Amino acid sequence: MNAPELDSAESRKEQHERVSKLFGGYTAFIAALLVTTFAKSNDFARSWIVISLLALSLPSLVALNLLDFRIRLIQGRRKSASRGLAFALGCLPSLAAVSILIGHFSVIAAILFVLLTLFWFLALDIVTYLGAKDPKSEV
């Protein structure tokens, strides 16, 4: 197999499905964390901040799963501003909320969480995936 065959439309579809499942799981985690934080809000000093950030990020995370990746590819656009905005408004507040929640127990763990999460996003090329090229133009 040569390189164009490895990056076919079918492999793009599989990659999209994997990332979609990943963000679906992350959305479910954030929803569960929101419910848990509501239940234990008396135990945390800054629980209102965590609840606000999680509630702010949840609609954008759902929108990220609902915005269709394939329509952008059919239209031949390299990037989607709406998907990028949903990604930013969904992930940044939720990561801040999780960091604050972790920081309630350990500041060092919260700092490491942020650094490792940033490394994870860069290593998996999630940002590049959101602005991936059209497979038809690469042939």
Q: What is the pLDDT of residues 37-66, one digit of tens each?
A: 999 888 887 789 999 999 999 999 988 888
pLDDT of residue 50: 92
pLDDT of residue 126: 59
pLDDT of residue 54: 94
Q: Are 56 and 89 in contact (CB under 8 A)?
A: yes
Angle among Cα 84, 75, 11 to the nearest 5 degrees reads: 75
State how far the Cα of 133 lies from the Cα of 92, in Å rounded to an integer.
Answer: 24
pLDDT of residue 137: 47
pLDDT of residue 115: 92
Its pTM stands at: 0.73
State how far the Cα of 117 lies from the Cα of 127, in Å rounded to an integer.
Answer: 13
Low-confidence ranges of the chain (pLDDT < 50): 1-5, 134-139
Ordered alpha helix ranges (H), 1-139 = 3-6, 9-39, 47-66, 69-75, 81-105, 107-124, 126-130
Taking alpha carbons only, the member of 134, 20, 8 closest to residue 71 is: 134
Q: Token digits for 122?
A: 């860069």
State how far the Cα of 40 lies from the Cα of 58, in Å rounded to an integer.
Answer: 19
